[in-house]
Amino acid sequence: MVLKKENILIVDDDINILELLQRHLHTWGYHVYKAISVREAVNILKDNTINLLITDLKMPEIDGFELIKFVSEHYPKLPKLIVTGYPSVQDSLSAIKSGVAEYLTKPFTKNELKLAVDKSLASNPTFQKNSQKEAPKENTSYGEIIGASQKITAVIEIIKRVKNNKATIFINGESGTGKELVARAIHYQGKFSRAPFIVVNCGAIPENLLESELFGYVKGAFTGADNDRNGFFQASNGGTIFLDEIGNASLAVQSRLLRVLQEKKVIKVGSQKTEDIDVRIISATNSDLKELINKNLFREDLYYRLTVVEINVSPLRERKEDIPLLVDKFLFKYGIEYKDRFVKISPEALEILQRHDWPGNIRELENILQHAVIMCDTNIEVSHLPNHLKYNIDFSIGALLSLKEMEKQYIQKVLNATNNNKTKAAKILQIDRKTIRQKLSE
C-alpha cells in the first residue's frame, strides 16, 4: 500500500474510536495523527501540515467546538469533519456556521466514513469575494479624520466651532487614537491654514533642551550656543503650535508656558528681551493631568489655561463602527504604495478586525494592515492576520488531571510520535507492549 500525501488529524477522547478511525484511514492510504485532547491536537497542528481534521465534539476539559473555532481562524483552509455520538440540531447548525465540511453521527459504517472523508478532502473552500457594501461617500471624513460614529461626529462638531479662532485647545486620548490628526484638522480646516503648523513632541526632547527648543536662545546662553536661534514658538508665529505629551514638560517649562499664555510674549533663553507672539496653542496627552497635579508634577493654573476647550478622542474599541472606514483608508494607502492597486479584504478577516479591542488603537490597526497588504497576493484573508487577533483556546481553564490520566495521555503522545508503533513506544517508555494496551484500556 502506498501512502497518500494527505495527513489527517483525528481527535477523540475515546481510544477505541481513535483506533477504529486510524485503521480505516490507513486502509485507504492516509497518514494519520491522533490526539486524545484539544490541547494535544493544537500542538500537532502547530508542528505538522494537516490536510483534514476529524474531531469529536463532547470531550473533557475543552470541547471540540473550541478546536473548530481555533482551526477556522488559524487554519481557515483546513477542512473539518465532525464525528459525534451526541447529535443535536443546535450542534449541527453551529458546525455548519463554523465551516465544517461534513457531520457524522456515531455509530457509522466504514462506507459512510469513506464518503465523508472523500467529500471533506475534495471540498475546496472558496472564500467569498469582498461583498462589503460600498462605504458611504459622505460624512466619513474631515481632513485626515476618518469615521462616522457618534463619538467622532462629536469631535468634528467641536473642531468646526474652534477652527476659525485661536482659543487654547486641549486634546485628551489614549496613545494611537489620532490626537495629532485632530490638531491638524483644527489648523488646516480653518482660516489660518496658510500659517505655520508646528508639532512638538515634549516627550521626545530631553528635559534640559526643551526650554531652549520651545523659546529659542541667544548667543552665549549656554555652551554650544554659538548664534541666536528662534524656537518653535517663534517658528509658529501667526499659526498653530501643537504640544504633544505636554505632561512630560518640567515645572520650569510649565512656568514659561503659563507666561506665554497669559502675556502672549516669549523670552529666549539667556535674554531679557520679550517678543510678542500670536500663536494658537493646542496641547495633548495620554496621561492623567489631574493625577499629576495631585502629585505636584503639573501646575494646576496651567492646566486650566490649556483646557479652555477640551476635546476627548475615544479609543477605537469604543467606536468599532469606524473600523471598516479606517480599513478602507489603509488598504488604499498601502495597496497603492506596495501593490500599485487597491487591495480588498475578505468579510471573515474584517469580522476579526472588528471584534478586536485594539489596545494600540488606530496606530495598531494601521500597522497590522500594512503588514497584511505586504503579505497578501490579491485580497487580505484570515491567514494574513496575526495569530493574537484570531480565536485562541484558553487551556488554563481545564481541571487538574490525575496522575493516571496524565500517564494515559503521555502514552498516547508517544504512540502518535512513533506512528502507533507499539514496539518503539514500549522501548521509549521502558515498559512492554502488553502494559501499553492495558493502560490505554483502563
The C-alpha cell 492576520 sits at 385
Give Cα separations from 212 to 232, 233, 242, 254, 264 (angstroms): 9, 10, 16, 13, 17
Instruction: List pLDDT tens digits, range 279-333.
Output: 999 999 988 999 999 999 999 999 999 999 999 999 999 999 999 999 999 999 9
Amino acid, single-letter form, for residue 109 = T
Q: Are 155 and 313 a contacting pair, CB within 8 Å?
A: yes
Q: Which domain range does residue 246 map to?
A: 150-316
Is 373 inside any structural domain?
no
Cis before 347? omega within 30: no
Do residues 95 and 184 share a domain? no
DSSP 269: B
Q: Are 176 and 360 a contacting pair, CB within 8 Å?
A: yes
Q: Above 70 in pLDDT, residue 136? A: no
Is 367 inside any structural domain?
no
pLDDT, greater one: 18 or 91: 18
Read off the pLDDT of each residue in 412-439 and give the average, rounded to a whole number. Answer: 83
Return the top range by mean pLDDT from 140-149, 186-195, 423-432: 186-195
Do residues 192 and 254 share a domain? yes
- Strand segments, DSSP code E, in 217-269 are 240-244, 265-267
The C-alpha cell 494592515 sits at 369
Q: Above 80 in pLDDT, residue 276? A: yes
Rounded distance, CA 229 to CA 214, Å?
Answer: 11
Do residues 299 and 187 share a domain? yes
- As a whole number of Å, the end-to-end CA separation of the chain is 33
127, 158, 186 - which closes a domain: 127
Rounded distance, CA 63 to CA 58, Å?
Answer: 5
Is 432 inside any structural domain?
no
Rounded distance, CA 375 to CA 377, Å?
Answer: 7
Number of structural domains found in the chain: 2
Cell of 123: 471540498
Instruction: List pLDDT tens digits, range 212-238.
Output: 999 999 888 888 888 988 999 999 999
Do residues 175 and 296 share a domain? yes
Is 397 inside any structural domain?
no
Q: Which CATH number goes with the domain that contains 173?
A: 3.40.50.300
Is 88 inside any structural domain?
yes
Do residues 303 and 173 share a domain? yes
SS3 105: strand
Instruction: List pLDDT tens digits, range 59-99.
Output: 888 888 889 889 888 988 899 888 887 666 455 555 555 56
Is 433 inside any structural domain?
no
Number of separate helices (H) and strands (E) present in the chain: 18, 16
Nearest in space to 264 (alpha carbons), one of 380, 168, 144, 387: 168
Nearest in space to 170 (alpha carbons), one of 326, 281, 33: 281
